[in-house]
Structure 1
Amino acid sequence: MNRREFNLLLSATVGATAFMGKAAVAQEQGETLTALIQPEPPILNLGINQQTPTGVVGGKMYEGLLSYARDLTPQPLLADSWEISEDGLTYTFKLVQNAKWHDGQPFTSADVVFSCKQLLPETHPRARAVFDRCASIEAPDDFTVVFKLKSPFPAFIMAFETASAPILPRHQLEGKDFKKEGAELPPIGTGPFKLNEWVKGSHIHLTAVEDYYRPDQPKLKEIFYRVVPDAASRAVALEQGEAQLAQWQDIEPFDVERLSSLDHLDITTDGYEYFSPMVWIELNCRKPPMNDKRFRQALTHLIDRDFVRDRIFFGLANSATGPISSSMRFYDKDVKTYEPSVEKATALLDEMGLKPGADGNRVSLKFTMVPAGEVWTRIAEYIRQSFSQAGIAVELQSNDLAGWVSAVSNGDFDISGNQLYQNGDPALGVARTYISSNIRKGVMFSNTSGYSNPKVDELFEAAAVELDQAKRQALYTEVQQLLVEEMPVLWLCEQKYPTIYDNRLKDVVTSSTGVNANFGTTHFEA
């Protein structure tokens, strides 16, 4: 495709010209940020929906009690300070006293209790698992919240970032059907930006909150999030300066190096430390032959993780070694390794009695493809090619996002792709994929592979409640070694997402949640 065709695609983007003229004028004054967003968020209420696009946009309007530095140290947000009792059972948060909701109502501890005790346990799977560990959640005064736990849970302090535990307004949502009415009501948060306009298929326009509780914030006056479905058009928007920010999967990996070499653009892969996204091949461990660890080990020998890193992700990843990302606490690299080896794979398959048939195939599997861009298509094609070397036929099945979610969450698949965030602590973002109690039909991003091992359950639970850090490490080391032996999923890589931005834009990444943070200090250099 040549430059003229690129420009035609850009011009054809729905609604692009409807607001770019206004944005460009304001941009000269350094007050307007135009960012890309793809796919478009289904809704903007972070308490109801936690998909990545909702987190990016919603993170400017809603806030949690804490943010986290890039080394995952907790930082103040709606909580000014906090204390943890010596026995690890009581967490006391002192709240900011001058925050307001976007409709002018004061923010108080009653909103925190409502969010954590009523709303989030009903609407937010991750938050439900965390707050189910609470014996009580109480507010002794308007600016203090006390969480008392049933048993120690040291990961609790990592559970309060905005997407993990957004605080929502009690006065707007109490007594409502959270999932239905909450999704329909306008977003009202405490963040530095509020919703001005959402033209579906075109753009989301946020404007600065004039009396935001942190002095001299926000620096920007407005943010336009452009919805641009075509990958080539998104690249051109950055290239020509019509957008100043792209994040997550906005830009295809093969285009990143070219764009980052342009004089007016910078790139960073910082700011995703809290999420530490892990990419893997999902296996339905309920079904033969996936229920035999020898088969899963054989598949692992057929994958060259370095090839995936270099040729599919174009270096924007680290090769994975196991269930915990190397950017996370409690990671241990000393686990069993599986070198790419067709010979070792076929030996395991022979041992299982899976002999080649007349067509040369030992078994046929259906790959339910992830409908999330070209990278996932290339992963599926690579798996089909690699598995065929040992006589494993793979049929690729295309579907839309709803179809993929339904198939994987209900166990109606053989193999698929998946990616999960690790959320700052293995007890929050890792254990959920492997513990038996989280096999929940119809619930995405749970233990969708159906893997079950009582020893794994025991180790994860013991690590979750252990206060001694050295003992926690020993428990997590043991569970990593066990899972790498069992291979319930086939870990591919630890993805590094590129944030590409106009080099006049400053304070883009200031925390471990990067572009999902509230952008209160983000600004253009004068």
Structure 2
Amino acid sequence: MKIDFLKSEKNIDKKIFSLKEKIYLSLAAFLFLGALFTWLGYYYYNSTEIKPDFGGQYVEGVIGNPMFINPILSQSNEIDQTICHLVFSSLFTYDNQAQIKNDLAESYEISEDNTLYTVKIRTDAKWHDEVPLTAKDVVFTVNLIKDPAYKSSLRGDWQKISVTAVDDYTVTFKLEEPFAPFLNKLTFGILPSHVFEGISGDDFLSSKFNLNPVGSGPFVFLEMKKDQNDSINAATLVANKKYYGQVPYLEKITFNFYDSNEAVLEAYERKEIMGFSLVNYQEAENLKNLKSTNLKSIHLPRYFAAFYNQNKSKALADKRVREALNLATNRDEIIKQIFSGFAQKVNSPIIDNFGQFKSQIEATPFNQEKAKNLLDEAGWKVPENGTIRKKEGEELSLTIITTSWPDFVKTAELIKKQWEQIGAKVEVSALTVADFQQNFLKTREYQIVLFGHEYFYNDPDPFLGWHSNWKKSGSNMAQFDDQKADNLLDEARKSQSFEDRSKKYAEFEKIIAENYPADFLFSLDYVYLQSSKVKGNETQAVVNPSYRMVDIDNWYFKTKRVKK
């Protein structure tokens, strides 16, 4: 007998489930599935987390062109330095707080007398052409730096240091005397000996490898592009997938080269580039609220001051006058009006917001009344029916010199205005850099100079700027001369103890604060504008702007979810 099962099932269905029951059953099934998927989604999101993923190209706009993508020749060109930091490796480098960290160095030891550094190099580092990187390359690079025929600007730092390869992965550096910030000297990029061997000093500057480098860093040089006038207009690097460290998330970095700030800004507005450095602080204020843009204010190890030459002014030879000028300087007004807030006040040669060492003295307050009283006490009084203070018939007349950089000139003019409010007559002279250095700084022919001092990389070491050895020539622009201060600076730069150095610098600061050799003003930030599409850029301090991509291995565009 033939049975119609389909018909039977339909009949059974009709008998068992009514229409109302079918609706309830469907609704229950829908709710069950909804709950199931919700639970699965909840489980997925709670058992996983968002992590950066690989891919994407970052494009930066810069002013100028590369000349030598060679780490021992790049110091005079920020573009060269920036690319070198990405293409080449160093024994040590910096983190995003500008603190020293190991790069190729696996470990290091310092001898008891602090003059011998032994560095163990990691064994998994290779050049981009697959040749192993060894101690031979380190020694080779240092020897090129020391050889005048190769014209490296790093040469002066290495004349009294000997380097030796103990074995393939161990190198020693012998100093004539202890130098606490020495590890900073080991941040130079290392050259491949197998590439540059046989290239003489005469041919070194013109070597094809200076614009087609072979490095060992996180990015590999890919290509240069030129315009119709045969000028380089772009350079592209690709991620080194065999990098010994953290492989970058970004697939490529391209640098587009422009001839002006305006061209760079226009390129950003056209979305042709994703980031660039700002040199105009007023412009930074206008751009900080730009849509889909992050504006990063990054600390630098450089401070600016008005340095007093007591030998060129009767008034400045009196400590009370110098103190009065410091009290009459409104630093907050300078920072807000000229630098749009992208700066911090400084109290001494130790910058508060940079590095491990902190200033341990109180800031000089803005107090015009106290300044006026000090000048009265010093015999500089405002005559009846007059505005300029005089002493024994001589006006309180001062001249500030500075370079012609617009923001320096504006700063000098604002200080002039502030000092005139306490009865000083002030002139400002803006000079070309060449004139400033040759005819004034070098000869010490100035009363007051508005200029800056830099740290030794990330270390304050005020030796060059404040030791009396450098008062007649060099960076001691205040011509400061104090034997106790000299001794503290000598001792501090030889000590490996952070606590000991901090104590000595505190004593040094106290001497500076008691003598008023300069009017300490501010430390400027480095301002970088970047598309908000770029994630992972956490840089807060750099030793100089060429290190702005120091944490590039953490930058990313793409993300993925992975198990916790």
Letter in 1 for 2:416: R
Counterpart position of 1:244: 274
5+ long unaligned stretches in structure 2: 1-53, 390-394, 560-564
Offset of 1:382 from its aligned partner?
0.8
- Distance in 2, matches of 1:333 and 1:121, equals 42
Q: Counterpart of 1:369 in 2: which secondary structure?
A: strand
Aligned position for 2:463: 431
Q: Distance in 2 between matches of 1:448 and 1:100?
A: 46
Deviation at 1:388, TM superposition (A): 2.1
Task: Give 2:253's aligned residue.
Answer: 222
**2:351 is aligned with 1:325:** yes
Conservation of the 8 A alpha-carbon contact between 2:62 and 2:255: no
Q: Deviations over 1:413-464 (max 9, x none)?
A: 443332343232222xx332112234574x6xx3344333222211111112
1:310 to 318, 322, 336: 336
Give yes or no for the alignment of 1:64 onto 2:64: no
| Match of residue 476 from structure 1 | 505
**Cα separation, partners in 2 of 1:520 and 1:329, compared to 1, 3 Å:** closer
Matches of 1:126 and 1:320, distance apart in 2: 29
Match of 1:112 among 131, 138, 148: 138
CA deviation profile, 1:265-307 (whole Å, cap 9, x unmatched)? 113335x4xx433232344455334455444323212211122
Q: Which residue of 2 aligns with 1:519?
A: 552
Correspondences of 1:153-172 after superposition (within 5 Å) = 153-161=179-187, 165-168=188-191, 172=196
List per-residue Cα deviations over 1:218-264 (Å, max 9, x = no partner).
7342321433423x5544443442321123xx252233344332331
1:378 aligns with 410
Q: Tell me, what secondary structure is at the counterpart of 1:499?
A: strand
**1:219-368 alignment to 2 at 5 Å?**
219-230=250-261, 232-247=262-277, 250-270=278-298, 272=299, 275-284=300-309, 286-289=311-314, 290=316, 292-327=318-353, 328-335=355-362, 337-349=363-375, 360=388, 362-368=395-401
Alignment of 1:450-469 (within 5 A): 450-469=479-498
Distance (whole Å) between structure 2 residues aligned to residue 345 and residue 32 of structure 1: 56
Asked whether the equivalents of residues 118 and 172 of structure 2 are also in contact (C-alpha less than 8 Å), the reply is: yes
Q: Which moved more, 1:86-95 or 1:309-318?
A: 86-95
Q: Distance in 2 between matches of 1:525 and 1:35?
A: 18
C-alpha spacing 1:184/1:315, structure 2 compared with 1 (3 Å): farther
Q: Deviations over 1:45-92 (max 9, x none)?
A: 553453572443443344431122345553232323323345544322
Structure-2 change in CA distance of 1:437 and 1:297 (3 Å): same
Structure of higher CA gyration radius: 2
Match of 1:415 in 2: 448
Q: How far has the Cα of 1:353 moved from its partner?
A: 5.4
* 1:381 Cα deviation after fit: 1.9
Query: Could you say which residue in structure 1 is the equivalent of 2:224?
Result: 196
- Number of residue pairs the alignment of both structures matches: 479
Q: CA deviation at 1:491?
A: 1.6
Quote the residue 2:237 is aligned against: 207
Instruction: Tell me the TM-score normalised to structure 1 length.
Output: 0.76
**RMSD across aligned positions (CA):** 3.9
Q: Distance in 1 between matches of 2:231 and 2:387?
A: 48
Distance 1:377 1:462 in 2: 37
TM value normalised by structure 2: 0.72
Residue in 2 that maps onto 1:74: 100
1:487 maps to which of 502, 516, 520: 516
Q: Secondary structure at the match of 2:273?
A: coil
What's the secondary structure of 1:508's corresponding residue? coil
Shift of residue 412 of structure 1? 4.4
CA drift of 1:479 comes to: 0.4
